[in-house]
Amino acid sequence: MKFSRILGGVATAAMMAYGTSAMASDIIVVAHGQANDPFWSVVKNGVDMAAKHTGAHVEFRSPETFDMVAMSQMIDAAVNQEPDGLVVSIPDADALGPSIKRAVEAGIPVISMNSGSDVSKELGALLHVGQDEYTAGEIAGAKLAEMGGKKGICVNQEVGNVSLDQRCEGFAKGFGGPVSVLPTTNDPTEIEAKVRAALDSDPDVDTVMALGASTAGEPSVAAVKALGRTGDVKVASFDLSASFLESVGAGDAAFAIDQQQFLQGYLPVVFLALNADYGLMPGGNVPSGPNLITADKAGQVVELSAKGIR
157 and 216 Cβ atoms separated by less than 8 Å: yes
Quote the pLDDT of residue 172: 98
Contact (CB, 8 A) for 111 and 272: yes
pLDDT value at 199 more than 80: yes
pLDDT at 4: 43
Domains defined for the chain, CATH in brackets: 3-130+260-279 (3.40.50.2300), 133-258 (3.40.50.2300)
pLDDT of residue 305: 80
- How do residues 263-305 score in pLDDT, each as one tens digit? 999 999 999 999 999 999 999 999 999 999 999 989 888 888 8
Q: How many other CB atoms are found less than 10 A from the CB of residue 16?
A: 8
In the chain the beta strands, taken as DSSP E runs, fall at 26-30, 57-61, 85-88, 110-114, 128-130, 152-156, 179-183, 207-210, 234-238, 255-258, 286-287, 291-293
> Rounded distance, CA 124 to CA 171, Å?
29
Is residue 223 predicted with pLDDT exceeding 90? yes
Measure the CA–CA gap between 21 and 296, rounded to whole angstroms.
46
Integer angstrom CA distances of residue 258 from 30, 199, 224: 22, 26, 22
pLDDT of residue 146: 98
Indicate the average pLDDT of the chain.
92
At 23 the pLDDT is 63
Burial class from Cβ neighbours inside 10 Å (0-12, 13-18, 19+) for residue 94 reads exposed
Name the pLDDT band for 182 (thresholds 50, 70, 90).
Answer: very high
Q: Which among 209, 235, 130, 165 is positioned nearest to 245, based on CA atoms?
A: 235
**Confidence at residue 15, expressed as pLDDT on a 0 to 100 scale:** 53
Decide which of 243 and 303 is more confident: 243
**Residue 243 to residue 102: CA distance in whole angstroms:** 41
The strand pairing partners of 256, in sequence order, are 237, 293
What are φ and ψ of residue 126, in 5° steps? Answer: -70, -35
Mean pLDDT, residues 76-87 taken together = 98
The percent of residues in the chain predicted with pLDDT above 90, rounded, is: 82
**Percent of all residues in the chain with a pLDDT value above 70, rounded to a whole number:** 93
